[in-house]
Amino acid sequence: MNSQVLPRLAILISGHGTNLQAFIDACARRELVAHIGIVISNNPKAVGLQRAHNAGLATHTIDHRDFATREEFDQALVNELHSASIDLVVLAGFMRILTPVLVQPFVGRLLNIHPSLLPKYPGMRTHQRALDSGDAEAGATVHFVTQELDGGPPILQGRLPTLPDDTAESLAARVSILEHAMYPLAVRWYLQGRLQLTDNGAVLDGKMIAATGVQYRADAR
């Protein structure tokens, strides 16, 4: 198939890019019928850039430190997304808070995965906060990105038990594996036209998604 007719994804990263790798693999296996049109990192040293190169993908580094304001940084992102004709923007370990300059033109076409059971623990250090609170469960949430940080409507939530000897690192490693399974599924729903952001929240197959998202199961399609 001609890659130009495939829906085009942008994956925005800042670090290891293991979620990016999950998308590269899902596209290669045709679990996702899409083309990753651009990988953008704000961090020139992101390991994920190498993963993109290895897969033959176009990359672009837009270093936030080169811009005087968040808005100017976001405008540079928007310009790149437009020139790459992007249909859906996927935040995958992207560590810069976005302003309306980016969110507005892409609202409803902008997804994030956050490493907590939202609405618990928006922001940073989620695993340590879950352990400090003695939570029996942790996980990750895919959500539509809106102006409110980690506050956009949840789509898909995956949970797993915390373990007695867990550290933030050991818990993060298990949540990470869960993320790689669940994030491509949410993107698949979007690309199949089954998932939309409406004024009332996220909708899947014509039904409102609950405030905690659809509960992810390994056999979900």
Sign of CA dihedral 208, 95, 91, 124: negative
Site for ligand GAR in 40-69 (CB under 6 A): 48
15 binds ligand GAR (CB under 6 A): yes
- Asked whether 21 and 51 are in contact (CB, 8 A), the reply is yes
184 binds ligand GAR (CB under 6 A): no
Helical axes 18-28 vs 168-191, angle rounded to 10°: 40
CB-nearer residue toward ligand NHR: 124 or 218: 124
Residues 6+ apart with CB under 8 A from 199: none
CB-nearer residue toward ligand GAR: 149 or 163: 149
Q: Which residue has the tokens 């922001």?
A: 123
179 binds ligand GAR (CB under 6 A): yes
- Is 114 an active-site residue? yes
Of these, 113, 130, 142, 202, which contacts ligand GAR (CB under 6 A)?
Answer: 113
Of these, 10, 19, 130, 213, which contacts ligand GAR (CB under 6 A)?
Answer: 19
Q: Residue 176 is inside which H or E element, if any?
A: helix 168-191
Least Cβ distance, residue 172 to ligand NHR (angstroms): 12
Q: Residue 126 is inside which H or E element, if any?
A: helix 126-132
Of these, 61, 75, 128, 176, which contacts ligand GAR (CB under 6 A)?
Answer: 176
DSSP 8-class letter at 124: S
Between CA 213 and CA 216 the distance in angstroms is 9
Total number of residues that touch ligand GAR (CB under 6 A): 16
DSSP 8-class letter at 161: E
213 binds ligand GAR (CB under 6 A): no
From the candidates 114, 127, 143, 180, give the one annotated as an active-site residue: 114
Residue type for position 178: L
Closest of 184, 192, 195 to residue 28, by C-alpha: 184
Of these, 58, 95, 131, 181, which contacts ligand GAR (CB under 6 A)?
Answer: 95
Least Cβ distance, residue 109 to ligand GAR (angstroms): 19
Give catalytic residues, as residue numbers.
Answer: 114
Binding site for ligand GAR (CB under 6 A): 13, 15-19, 48, 92-93, 95, 113-115, 140, 176, 179
